[in-house]
Structure 1
Amino acid sequence: MESSPQLKTSRAGVFEPTARRVTIEDVARAAGVSRQTVSRATNDKGEIDPATRQRVLDVARSLGYRPNRFARAMVRQETVTLGLLLPNITNPFFPEVANGILESAAERGWHVVIQQTGATPEGEQVGLDLFAGQADAFVGYLEFDESVRRATEIGIPFALFGYEGSGSAAAAVNRVDIDLGSGLAAAIRHLVGLGHREIGILDAGRPAEPGGTVSPRGQIMLDLLREAGLAADPECLQRAANSVPGGERAVARLAEERPGVTAVLAYNDIVAVGAMRGLRALGRSVPDDCAVAGFDGLGLAELVEPALTTLYVDKRSLGAEAVRLVAAEFGPSDREPRVSVVRPELVVRASTAGTATVPD
């Protein structure tokens, strides 16, 4: 039975912020006025001398201070508009995450505006520009460092899922991450426990892309194979477009490069389903000739034949946790970014031909 993993929240010890966000107290100090005066000036309140207002605004601009529109809406008990950035809505993973966000936002009386980015720099910029004018905060997916820098410039609270960037942009990000290491280690132990010694990996990406690199998830898989004393050479990893046909094509290349492979661990469930179809097209039975396991725990994993072994992620809780991180921004303006981690759970089904006990 699938159970919901526990959420673990901690301060972001992984990051070393190079600069904290400019606060209202910083502006008040630099302008030689009170915090209330800064608030009146930036919120265009009438109870302030025009010359003082202009001086405060000039100081705020020079320091790069942006009023927290989200906090202002909370104080005034106005309806908060939350932006949601998704790469696409065709992959079943993202609607399940969105469901958790919508439910959590509704509990708070917030409105949600959804924007699809196509996982491109241009699409992410369009979404961020939209939210700069219409949203008080946002959550979602950004893949490009330049997009994250733009998000911090907008000056509204946000939380990202699984952002893998680096440097000062990453240091200022509230994140909800999936514990890839523990989940993938459980999957590898499961396959090794069933006697598999030739394990292939289907990683994310398009093979035709020049200079393509192994994803962080793919690299963890390779490292775990090496730790288990198994082959982890380039031929055991094939890159797959994030689709069922992508999984079919990738597993065909894998079978050609490594015909002795008896198990496949895929980047996600969509690619894993494609791998099962591709293996059947090659005349190989799943799981008798080759076991297959995925990642994400999508509903479709129970519907395919044979049912797919997968690393289940509680996607509704993932979305709700992102909203919680954003809601926490209604508090001290200089608090550090936070990272919450969700641990996947291995759910063993028929596609790996057994119910081997995974050692602790």
Structure 2
Amino acid sequence: MKARRVTIKDVAREAGVSVATASEALNGKGRVAPATRQNVIEVAGALGYTASRTAKNLNAGRTGSLVLAVSPMSASDASKGPQPEWDVEYYFRVLSGASARAFSRGFLLSMLPFRSPSSEFLMATDGLILVDPSEEDDLLDEAVRTGVTCVTIGRTARDLSWVDNDFFTGTTAALQHLSATAPSRPALFLSETTSSYVRDELSAYLEWCSTAGLEPIIIRSPGPRVDEAEPVIRAALSASDRKFDAVVTTLDTLASATERSARALDLQVPRDLQILSLSDSRTLDYGLHHSITALDLDPVRLGELAVDLLIAEVEGDAARRRELVPASLTVRDSTLAQ
């Protein structure tokens, strides 16, 4: 038979004090005589009492819950069912790191699969982590308006704490890698330009093209999913006047669509076409005919840091903090330079 949990009432009865006095003694609050406080602490230890997480949060005026959401990559995504962004492995790896860190810190973290700027929903949580925020995100607008503590993974113009990668430096290093063995004429394949990481990648690409004396080539998918991206990249690759011999993608799903299209068109990777993703995933290493060179953004670490920043603010630290996580290039079969 499972042993009954020792409660604060048991401690109070054994110590000969009221429940309120026992609670104040254990929480270090109230005007409790030092001898009484010490007696309550000793009795609690002898009985094996530990305060429940729920009780601690209620005493602190908190719910003990955090929420992680992803900003939609297009305006139409915000009004539909499960967000297509959750098809991107990067976001689940962020969620994995964030949820484990939150639990270790005494909080439960939930994923928001649908978008809703509901103030009622936001007021039921202690804080919000928003990944890849756009400058006009309804959920972030509502959270700021209602006073919910917010941290972002990615940057906005708002006065919020954030964690991010140095995408400009990472993109520049990736482009240099493509040309390390032979001159390269890369195209940039993206699905949106509202997120700070895409703007950084685009800026780095345009500057690199200007320095190399090359015409920028931007290919845009209507969405982040492979099935949305594949028709677009296949048409670009099969064009009779194609002017690029490499594709740099902002998402792993776009890289997967590119590799699938190259095979369908009998293009040899990397001889005829180099492919590089600015976001890594297991699919790019094991799920394709040619493994794809990619930037490892360390999404688990991003999630952990975001939780640490959020909890610090939930617990009363008003300072704004910004953290950069290094990205590293993982070289695989899809590029010439090894």
Shared fold (TM-score, shorter chain, > 0.5)? yes
Q: Distance in 2 between matches of 1:323 and 1:280?
A: 41
Which of the pair has the greater relative contact order for Cα pairs under 8 Å at 6+ separation? 1
The structural deviation recorded for 1:278 is: 1.1
Secondary structure of the structure 2 residue equivalent to 1:354 = coil
Please list the CA deviations of residues 62-117 of structure 1 after superposition, one character each: whole Å capped at 9, or x if unmatched: xxxxxxxxxx9497396611112135432211111100011101101212232124
Report matched runs for 1:55-74 at 5 Å. 73=57
Matched, 1:218 2:202: yes
Secondary structure of the structure 2 residue equivalent to 1:350 = coil
Secondary structure of the structure 1 residue equivalent to 2:313 = coil
Please list the CA deviations of residues 260-309 of structure 1 after superposition, one character each: whole Å capped at 9, or x if unmatched: 42111111111011011112222211112101000221111111221110
Report matched runs for 1:199-348 at 5 Å. 199-205=186-192, 215-216=198-199, 217-232=201-216, 236-240=217-221, 241-255=223-237, 256=239, 258-303=241-286, 304-330=288-314, 334-335=318-319, 337-348=320-331
Secondary structure of the structure 2 residue equivalent to 1:275 = helix
Indicate if the aligned counterparts of 2:178 and 2:337 stay in contact, CA closer than 8 A: no
The equivalent residue for 2:74 is: none
Q: Residues 246 and 205 (structure 1 numbering): CA distance in 2 closer, same or farther, change over 3 Å?
A: farther
The structural deviation recorded for 1:251 is: 2.1
Counterpart code for 1:86: V
Secondary structure of the structure 2 residue equivalent to 1:97 = helix
Matched, 1:182 2:169: yes
Q: Residues 237 and 102 (structure 1 numbering): CA distance in 2 closer, same or farther, change over 3 Å?
A: same
Counterpart code for 1:254: A
The equivalent residue for 1:130 is: 121
Q: Residues 219 and 257 (structure 1 numbering): CA distance in 2 closer, same or farther, change over 3 Å?
A: farther
Indicate if the aligned counterparts of 1:85 and 1:140 stay in contact, CA closer than 8 A: yes
* TM-score, normalised by the number of residues in structure 2: 0.70
Q: Residues 129 and 296 (structure 1 numbering): CA distance in 2 closer, same or farther, change over 3 Å?
A: farther
Structure 1 stretch 301-310 or stretch 137-146: which is displaced more?
137-146
Secondary structure of the structure 2 residue equivalent to 1:351 = coil
The equivalent residue for 1:198 is: 185
Figure out how many residues of one structure are paired with residues of the other and give that number: 261
Indicate if the aligned counterparts of 1:238 and 1:253 stay in contact, CA closer than 8 A: no
Q: Distance in 2 between matches of 1:258 and 1:313?
A: 34
Secondary structure of the structure 1 residue equivalent to 2:219 = strand
The equivalent residue for 1:152 is: 144
Q: Residues 258 and 97 (structure 1 numbering): CA distance in 2 closer, same or farther, change over 3 Å?
A: farther
The structural deviation recorded for 1:326 is: 0.8
Q: Residues 184 and 74 (structure 1 numbering): CA distance in 2 closer, same or farther, change over 3 Å?
A: farther
Counterpart code for 2:220: R
* TM-score, normalised by the number of residues in structure 1: 0.66
Q: Distance in 2 between matches of 1:257 and 1:237?
A: 17
Secondary structure of the structure 1 residue equivalent to 2:213 = coil
The structural deviation recorded for 1:311 is: 0.5
The structural deviation recorded for 1:250 is: 2.8
Q: Distance in 1 between matches of 2:130 and 2:229?
A: 25
Indicate if the aligned counterparts of 1:218 and 1:267 stay in contact, CA closer than 8 A: no
Counterpart code for 1:247: A
